[in-house]
Amino acid sequence: MPCEHCVEKKEKNWREFRIAVPIALSFILFFIFLQKLGLVNLINTSHVTYGTAFMVGVIASLSSCMAVIGGLLLSMSATFAATSQGLRGASRVKPIMLFHSGRIVSFFILGGVIGIIGSAFTLNISTTFILDFFIGLVMIILGINLLDIFHFTKKFQPTMPKFLSKHALGVSKLNHTLTPVLVGIATFFLPCGFTQSMQIYTLSTGNFMQGGLTMLAFALGTLPVLALISFSSFSIQNSAKAGVFFKSAGIIVIVFALFNLINSLKVADLIPLQNTAAVANYSQNYSPAPTSNVTFEDGKQIIEINAKGGFLPRVSVAKADMLTILRFNTSNTFDCSSSVRIPSLNISQSLPQSGLIDIKLPSSGESILKGTCGMGMYPFEIDFQG
């Protein structure tokens, strides 16, 4: 009899995927639709106000940052909800409240610090890869555990080491107090283009209060959507559809984690970026002469690329064995295009919200130079020809 019950329970859990998979796919397709909608183009201002920062936060929570911060929060909140059996009231939602509180307070403080010290929190390619890869692995583990089909993976779920807490608080108490706060603080450093663009603006303020309030307004803009994601996990916990919800959340988290891992591998040049130049050469048979965005001045060539919602043109043809300036032109650029990574040259550069910025490239022979935005979403190529 007990065995029959075990089999029945396992079969029931698998049946829940019939509903969970379509729900997860619908959510992912909706996210892709929002990405393609070009929401960032709705922001058109010559000066960043606190209201602008708030709206950038709202758009960030519906766009590319959803894959990083939203996926991380969904995995964390759903995990806390799934393991909070027996807890009621404030104790049940305390971890999520701590996450949001830690995030909002840290954005104000760290934003103010940026305003004072005059340098943005831009991580180099190696550090970004390590952070992205670690978070991606954690998200995958949490996502698999939410599926509730491979019970052996629960032992891999990250917790605070016992040696850090045995002289202070109980491990379980510390995990429910310190971990959410640290995760909330860590979101300030995640490679979301919108966050980085606001950090670059904050750099120009030179003032603790103005910089802090700008990043605070941005964090508050992300709060409604992120709060909806986190607290929905608890509202459905005891319902008859809880299993479907957690399986849907697990699938979404795993997909977002794979999305982030693949992009981080692109940024680190560990998997090849798409060879758009080769595709263009095959399909359009373009001339090896420099493209129209390449000009010559004082013995050097200047390659101008517009950065907003991607890089245009995506493929540029330039002369080999010549001093080269890569000039990025931004105009109200708040998305992933606000930062540039060129892995082969170990170049990691944040771009201004609006204006021009030059990056000097070493002279090279015939080759294809590949770059991407900070999150690895938007690639571009320079085809150096003789």
3-class SS letters over 108-168: HHHHHHHHHHCCCCCCCHHHHHHHHHHHHHHHHHHHHHHHCCCHHHHHHCCCCCHHHCCCC
Residue 20 located in a structural domain: yes
Which domain-ending residue is among 218, 235, 267?
A: 267
Which domain-ending residue is among 233, 267, 301?
A: 267
Domain count, the chain: 2
- Same domain for 285 and 262: no
24-28, 33-37, 142-146: which is most confident: 24-28
Closest-CA residue to 123 (of 111, 131, 115, 133): 131
- Same domain for 208 and 184: yes
Q: Is the dihedral of CA 82, 84, 87, 92 positive or negative?
A: negative
- Same domain for 297 and 243: no
Helix axes 125-147, 242-267, angle to 10 degrees: 160
Mean pLDDT calculated for residue range 172-189: 72
CATH number at residue 344: 2.60.40.420
Mean pLDDT calculated for residue range 217-229: 89
Residue 68 located in a structural domain: yes
Residue 3 located in a structural domain: no
Q: How far is CA 291 from CA 304, 314, 367, 370, in A?
A: 10, 11, 16, 16
Which domain-ending residue is among 267, 294, 325?
A: 267
Give strand pairing partners of 301: 296, 324
Position 30 scores a pLDDT of 83
- Same domain for 63 and 170: yes
Query: Who has greater pLDDT, 250 or 208?
Result: 208
- Same domain for 253 and 287: no
Residue 9 located in a structural domain: no
pLDDT digits (tens, 9 = 90+) for 84-123: 655 555 566 778 888 899 999 999 999 999 888 865 556 6
- Same domain for 245 and 293: no
- Same domain for 379 and 324: yes
Q: Which tokens belong to 303?
A: 């390659």
Query: Who has greater pLDDT, 121 or 345?
Result: 345
Give me the chain's average pLDDT, please.
77
Residue 10 located in a structural domain: no
| CA–CA dist 316, 326 (Å, integer) | 11
Residue 233 has pLDDT above 90, yes or no: no
CB contact at 8 A, 142 and 79: yes
Residue 325 located in a structural domain: yes
Residue 7 located in a structural domain: no
Report residue 155's pLDDT band, with 50, 70 and 90 as the boundaries: low
- Same domain for 327 and 193: no
Mean pLDDT calculated for residue range 211-218: 93
How are beta strands 379-385 and 367-373 bridged, if at all? antiparallel
The helix (H) or strand (E) run that includes residue 300 is strand 300-307
Residue 228 located in a structural domain: yes
Among 323-327, 336-340, 373-377, the range scoring the smallest mean pLDDT is: 373-377
- Same domain for 213 and 99: yes
Q: Which tokens belong to 312?
A: 């245009």
Please report where in the chains the tokens 């082969």 appear, as a residue: 344
66-70, 167-171, 332-336: which is most confident: 332-336
CB contact at 8 A, 243 and 148: yes
- Same domain for 191 and 86: yes
- Same domain for 33 and 177: yes
- Same domain for 248 and 165: yes
Give strand pairing partners of 383: 317, 368
Instruction: Supply the range of the domain harboring residue 371.
Output: 276-385
Q: Let me know if 2 is exposed, middle or buried by CB neighbors in 10 A (0-12, 13-18, 19+).
A: exposed
